[in-house]
Amino acid sequence: MLTLKNLTKIYHPGTVNEMTLFRNFNLTIHDGEFVTVVGSNGSGKTSLLNIICGSIPLEGGSIFLDEQEITKIPDYKRMKRIGRVYQDPAMGTCGSLSILENFALADNKGNPFNLKFSIRKKRIAYYRELLRTLNLGLEDKMDVKVGSLSGGQRQAMALLMSTMTDLDFLILDEHTAALDPKTAEIIIELTDQIVREKGLTTIMVTHNLRHAETYGNRLLMLDRGEIVMDKSGEAKANCTTESLLEMFNKISVECGN
């Protein structure tokens, strides 16, 4: 379970550009929930993910993962328990390394590398089987440099790699936004499959209202650092793209846009 208590985030404090995004913000995400998060630009979606991952500091509040407070734990240590897939496919993979080398690095997440061979030969067959589930033919290109692959291929790899080790939480940061519509559908369906099979507690930020409606069992809408919609269970199931769009338009008008 992830618990955010009384979070305060201020950008550019003490300057003419000071802006308080979150003030006494609270959120609890229970084990097994797949939460989709929507909101206009500047609503706090990505900032929320960065706060959870430890990428940006807080001015106040506490973060708990299960019963452990992680507020002051640096991001690289949090990543032992949190997997993240970014909007840019290049951020989740290393383009100068081969597919095999990328998977070997991901497989060793959270462990010391020391002076030893980074690729365990007995794991190669496992990597190949993982890649075969993508139906992209990558299992036959293990020695190909990842930088030569398409964005969709790299994002599919990043998704598999981020969930190879045991996780408490999966973060998806608009991970289909940079892809063409057909590839985006492949990736979102793969995402749903992995989340269901592994029972991962997941938070997915998206600008795609249909994806927000269709996937996950809880839906949040943010506006200027506040939760203006929180639907789960039957209420989430009855939510439609049209109702989400209507809410978006209402907020836009209230903001003077």
Number of residues assigned to the chain? 257
Residue among 43, 50, 61 at smallest CA distance from 227 = 43
Task: Report the alpha-carbon distance of residue 55 to residue 59 in Å, rounded.
Answer: 13
More confident residue, 253 or 2: 2
Q: Which residue has the tokens 């840019």?
A: 88
Residues near 147 by beta carbon (within 8 Å), at least 6 away in sequence: 95, 96
pLDDT digits (tens, 9 = 90+) for 89-137: 888 899 999 999 999 888 887 666 554 546 778 889 999 998 998 888 8
pLDDT digits (tens, 9 = 90+) for 182-193: 888 989 999 999
Query: Across all residues in the chain, what is the average pLDDT?
Result: 89
Residue among 212, 237, 221 at smallest CA distance from 45 = 221
Query: Which tokens hold the place of 127?
Result: 């990597």
User: What is the pTM assigned to this prediction?
Assistant: 0.87
pLDDT digits (tens, 9 = 90+) for 33-46: 999 999 988 889 99
pLDDT digits (tens, 9 = 90+) for 207-256: 999 999 999 999 999 999 999 999 998 999 888 888 888 887 777 655 55
Query: Which tokens hold the place of 54?
Result: 């430890």
In this predicted structure, what is the pLDDT of residue 115? 43
Position 172 pLDDT exceeds 90:
yes
In this predicted structure, what is the pLDDT of residue 255? 53
Q: What values do phi and psi take at 138, rounded to 5?
A: -75, -20
Q: Which residue has the tokens 């940061």?
A: 173
- Amino acid identity of 192? D
Residue spans of beta strands (DSSP E) within the chain: 2-11, 19-29, 34-38, 60-65, 68-69, 82-85, 169-173, 202-205, 218-223, 226-232
Is there a contact between 150 and 178 (Cβ–Cβ < 8 Å)? no
What residues form DSSP beta bridges with 19?
Answer: 11
Residue among 18, 176, 128, 2 at smallest CA distance from 10 = 18
Q: Which residue has the tokens 């994806």?
A: 211
pLDDT digits (tens, 9 = 90+) for 56-87: 999 999 999 988 899 999 998 888 889 999 99
Residue among 256, 230, 227 at smallest CA distance from 22 = 227
Strand 2-11 relative to strand 202-205: parallel, antiparallel, unpaired?
unpaired
